[in-house]
Amino acid sequence: MDEIPNDASPERIEIARPDDWHLHLRDGALLGRVVGATARCFRRAIVMPNLDPPIVTTADALAYRDRILAALPAGSHFEPFMTLYLTEATTPSEIARAAASTQVAGVKLYPQGATTNSARGVRGLDGLGPVLEALERHGLPLLVHGEATAPDCDVFDRERVFLDETLRPLVERHAGLRVVFEHITTAEAAAWVAEAPARVAATITPQHLLLNRNALFRGGLRPHHYCLPVLKRERDRQALVRAATSGDPSFFLGTDSAPHTRRAKESACGCAGVFSAPVALEAYAEAFARASALDRLEGFASHFGADYYGRPRNEDRVTLVRGDWQGPETLGAGDDALVVFLAGEALRYRLQDGSAARG
């Protein structure tokens, strides 16, 4: 990360408890290892459905939700909201079932082949008309992994090409469709969301606020900074910081915390994903402090996502305390360790003990 500039950030910041509107929790043993890191800080999270096999029905989502609740550390007070994975076989009646469940917050669109466990994603939007109309009718948001997948499309252009060729026309075609452009990474995406109607929103990750693509190659290949969509140029990072700190309610917190073991990351074909949950709020606070915009953190982290998803804002509060802090470098040890975002780098705020989301 860059040097911390001359700094007049306050000793303590108190904000309404935040929520994470884009999260990967996995399943089985890995779920049990990671869910506490999110529950320490966030009250609620939208949990992504890209398991293997994916969560494609409301029944799958509710069963997965039960497994998440069972894996929580004792005393946690954390509420997962679920998503369905859109496939070419998804039906309007499945959308109606999802919309009738207060536990399902949206349906996730993965272009086929775009990222982890996206093999059953959609090849295109042709043929999805009735399902998209059902989403529109029920007011259920479509959560979009926005990257073009044509093999000859440059990896750094994938978001921009998807926006031009697919997302912009989709939003124009479906005048009532609610769309969250997930983990945006480019100046073009931020500008489009800012201009789009209020039914269009975007999440922004901590790594895209703090790092540009140089971080992938600093002194050698850095697999723990590799995620999808990949980090972009410095001008893109700056545009994302401006969007997140603008006070525009279209932009809100979604970590995209995506754990993979060290073995899977440090490999000849490493997996995409940054595991940020153990330091997520602190990393966002760092980004906002660098932009001298800590007064805008609460809206981004704790208000705008809840408003967009029609949920009440959290009433309890958390405190971030100033003081150099190094987050944990890993969860676990050896090849199965999960390397944490920023692995031990200094952060200027830390969530106060006792702020963990416990009941």
What is the binding site for ligand DOR (CB under 6 A)? 24, 50, 115-116, 145, 227-228, 258, 272-273
Closer of 17 and 158 to ligand DOR (Cβ)? 158
- Taking contact as CB under 5 A, which single stretch among the options 35-43, 158-166, 255-263, 318-326 is the one that binds Zn ion? 255-263
Strand pairing of 346-351 and 317-326?
A: antiparallel
Q: How many CB atoms lie within 10 A of CB 240?
A: 26
Residue 180: which of 198, 159, 165 has the closest Cα?
198
Nearer to ligand DOR, 261 or 314 (CB): 261
Instruction: State the minimum distance, in angstroms, from the CB of residue 135 to Zn ion.
Output: 19
Is residue 159 part of the contact set for Zn ion (CB under 5 A)? no
Collapse the DSSP code of 253 into the 3-class scheme (helix H, G, I; strand E, B; otherwise coil) and give the result. Answer: strand
Q: How far is the CB of 61 from ligand DOR (least distance, A)?
A: 16
Assess contact for 48 and 22: CB atoms under 8 A: yes
- Round to whole Å and give the CA distance between 115 and 54: 13
Return the number of the residue (100 or 119) whose C-beta is nearest Zn ion: 119
Which among 253, 250, 210 is positioned nearest to 42, based on CA atoms? 253
Options 19, 236, 248, 256, the catalytic residue? 256
What's 252's DSSP letter? Answer: E
Dihedral sign (CA 329, 333, 335, 337): negative
Window of 80-88, 96-104, 213-221, 253-261 that interacts with Zn ion by CB under 5 A: 253-261
**Using the rule CB under 5 A, is 94 a contact of Zn ion?**
no
Q: Between residue 27 and residue 86, which ones bind Zn ion under the rule CB under 5 A? A: none
Per-state percent for the chain, helix, strand, coil, to nearest 5: 35, 20, 45
Minimum Å gap between C-beta 24 and ligand DOR is 5
Q: Verify whether residue 256 is a known catalytic residue.
A: yes
Is residue 256 a contact residue for Zn ion (CB under 5 A)? yes
Q: How far is the CB of 336 from ligand DOR (least distance, A)?
A: 16
The residues carrying an active-site annotation are 256
